[in-house]
Structure 1
């Protein structure tokens, strides 16, 4: 057997394997004898058919199977000995249908394409800069959240006369053409000037307005029109009021506190405000943590400067998912795949270099945290904890065990990123929620 490697570029190569008769024939002969002992062939008692007859019937399929087994094992062993890291799986270079004569041929040549990276080097030192963001929950954000909750959990009424902030239910028609639509118009989502036409009116009132009075985004956000309908909206419209809907803000009382946080969790307005602040801070701490980690990933990916075998990987993705995706699908999704693959290579290398491991106990604890977050507002409390082991077990066994592997990867990434933050020049920065939103939009 001869195996040769031919590097075409810095990250793509071909491997050629040449087999001669001595490499495979002993295994083929042994398999034929084994078949002969078990084969049931008409005219012969089981196991009594001549080997020559068994070879005539099963010889080619046995030869193909044994050669494929030898190729797989030899290729895997050869790749394990290399210093570079294989990406994806080796792709066999397809031959013409008649290029192999399994009946008479003695020597065989096979070729595979591979993609790889030579090495992954990430120097973690103070030359690498990073920012750890913390979002400050201020009084403005707390007050806005409480007002939204009061509105969300308030009582709905149908007043006789409309006011600013009401929802006006009715029929809208174009003066020209046959366009008509029944809708609920939230006055809070249209301009004050236009909303003034809908305030101080009663049921059965007919309001007339011009399309020019409606801002472009209001057609979809407030009137619920499609993009096509918005583009065609011109001239005069009438709106016939069928009902007026209003949500009265909830009162800050025990009933309201219990609806938000569960029975008896908070028992005063002061405790409620404190709990809202804690909940918001916890939520934004998680968001800022994710954002900080994503920014660190970008910095490490840029520093590592890995060159992926893009052409090979696209072909491998197409072949590995044959019939499920098109070339266009692969082209569209490849940038995200390449980004995730690059980070995976970096994370695994940092973990290997620094003895970082995700333990089973870590996976269990992280799964518990995820489940608690999902049921945070359910009010189950003690019931949830009593059944926690069952929830965890069911989740980790789900998706044919892939959930466990995903959680294992997630734990390792968290440990790697925590380690990275200890080694680099990390600046802590507190920002407002508005500043955070601006960062997300960049």
Structure 2
């Protein structure tokens, strides 16, 4: 057997494997003899058919299987011993295999494309500008959240006269009569300058307005039409009220507190505010942590400037997901994939050079943390904590062990990022919810 590597560029190469008869024939012959002993061929007693007949019937398929096994094992071992890091999987050059004559050929040559990176040099210093954000929840945000919760748990009523924030159920008609639709119009979506004409309406009343001037955001979505249909609704339309729907806010009492957080967890309006503020801060801070870490990753990826084999990776992604994605989709999604791949390579390199390792105990604790969050959202955390070990065990064994490997990778990534922050120039900043929204928007 002869294996040769031909580098075409700094990140792409081809591997050629040449096989002679001595590389594969002894194993093929052994398999033929073994098959002859077990074969049940018409006209012969079981195991008594001549090897020559068995070879004519099954020799080619056994040859293909054996050569396939040799190629797979040899290629993997060869690539494992290289100094560069292989990306994706080797891609066989199909034009070569299509020319093979399995019945007469004795020597074979196979070629594979590979993509790789080498000399991954990650520099960590205080030029990495890391900002760790935390949220500052003001009283107004807390009050708005509590009012939203009271609305969710409130009861629906049908008053005689409309007020701000009601829903008007009725019939919308275009001026020329070409369009008509019955839907529920939320007055919270009406522009403040136009709102007064929708206040004080009763069943049967009709109001006239221009859609784009009156509905302040996403008018097509509010009405439930396409943008193309909305374009045809120029000019004035009329809306005739069939019914008025209003949600009465839930009372701030113990029954409401218990519905939200479980029995006895909150016992006053003040403790409700504190609980809501705590939960809001926790949720925002999780998002801010992810945001900060993504920005750090972007800086390190940019500084490391990995030269990824773009052409090879696109071809590999298309073949690895054959039938599931198109070339156009691969082209569109490649920048996101490349960024994630670059960070994975860098993270693994940092872990290797700095002996950063995810331990089994870390995996268990991170899994518990994840499950507690899921249970907390269902309100069942306290009751089910006693069965936590069972939940963790079931999850980590799931998906044929892939869940465990994903969690192991996540733990290592957390440790690498902590290490990076120690080396970086870290600033701390407390921001408002509005600033948080601005950060995400940019």
- Counterpart mapping for 1:315-334 below 5 A: 315-334=315-334
- Tell which deviates more after alignment, 431-440 or 142-151: 142-151
Distance, in Å, in 1 between the alignment partners of 2:96 and 2:82 is: 30
CA RMSD across the alignment: 2.1
Query: Is the Cα–Cα contact under 8 Å of residues 97 and 110 in structure 2 kept in the other structure?
Result: no
Equivalent residue, structure 2, for 1:304: 304
Equivalent residue, structure 1, for 2:39: 39
Equivalent residue, structure 2, for 1:271: 271
Query: Is the Cα–Cα contact under 8 Å of residues 190 and 222 in structure 1 kept in the other structure?
Result: no
- Tell which deviates more after alignment, 372-381 or 2-11: 372-381
Distance, in Å, in 2 between the alignment partners of 1:302 and 1:350 is: 15
Distance, in Å, in 2 between the alignment partners of 1:277 and 1:305 is: 42
- Counterpart mapping for 1:25-104 below 5 A: 25-95=25-95, 99-104=99-104
Deviation per CA, 1:100-143, whole angstroms, max 9, x where unpaired?
22233222111111111113221222232211111212223222
5+ long unaligned stretches in structure 1: none
Query: Is the Cα–Cα contact under 8 Å of residues 261 and 377 in structure 1 kept in the other structure?
Result: no
Query: Is the Cα–Cα contact under 8 Å of residues 204 and 240 in structure 1 kept in the other structure?
Result: yes
- Tell which deviates more after alignment, 332-341 or 302-311: 332-341
Shift in alpha-carbon separation, 1:275–1:202, aligned structure 2, 3 A: same
Matched, 1:171 2:167: no
Shift in alpha-carbon separation, 1:224–1:102, aligned structure 2, 3 A: closer
Deviation per CA, 1:342-375, whole angstroms, max 9, x where unpaired?
1111111111222222223322222222222123
SS in 2 for 1:393: helix
**What is the TM-score normalised by the length of structure 1?**
0.93
Shift in alpha-carbon separation, 1:349–1:196, aligned structure 2, 3 A: same
Shift in alpha-carbon separation, 1:318–1:379, aligned structure 2, 3 A: closer
Across the two proteins, how many residue pairs are aligned to each other? 442
Deviation per CA, 1:141-197, whole angstroms, max 9, x where unpaired?
222222322333333322222222222121111121331111221112111222111
SS in 2 for 1:338: helix
Matched, 1:425 2:425: yes
SS in 2 for 1:347: helix
Distance, in Å, in 1 between the alignment partners of 2:45 and 2:320 is: 45
Query: Is the Cα–Cα contact under 8 Å of residues 116 and 308 in structure 1 kept in the other structure?
Result: yes
Distance, in Å, in 1 between the alignment partners of 2:234 and 2:178 is: 13
Shift in alpha-carbon separation, 1:96–1:296, aligned structure 2, 3 A: closer
Equivalent residue, structure 2, for 1:289: 289
1:43 to partner: Cα distance: 4.4
Deviation per CA, 1:233-278, whole angstroms, max 9, x where unpaired?
1222221111222223333222222222222111112211111111
1:82 to partner: Cα distance: 0.6
Distance, in Å, in 2 between the alignment partners of 1:36 and 1:372 is: 59
SS in 2 for 1:400: helix
Distance, in Å, in 1 between the alignment partners of 2:90 and 2:183 is: 58
**What is the TM-score normalised by the length of structure 2?**
0.93
Distance, in Å, in 2 between the alignment partners of 1:126 and 1:235 is: 60
Distance, in Å, in 2 between the alignment partners of 1:221 and 1:45 is: 76
SS in 1 for 2:223: coil
SS in 2 for 1:376: helix
1:438 to partner: Cα distance: 0.7
Equivalent residue, structure 2, for 1:185: 185
- Tell which deviates more after alignment, 47-56 or 104-113: 47-56
Distance, in Å, in 2 between the alignment partners of 1:212 and 1:11 is: 54
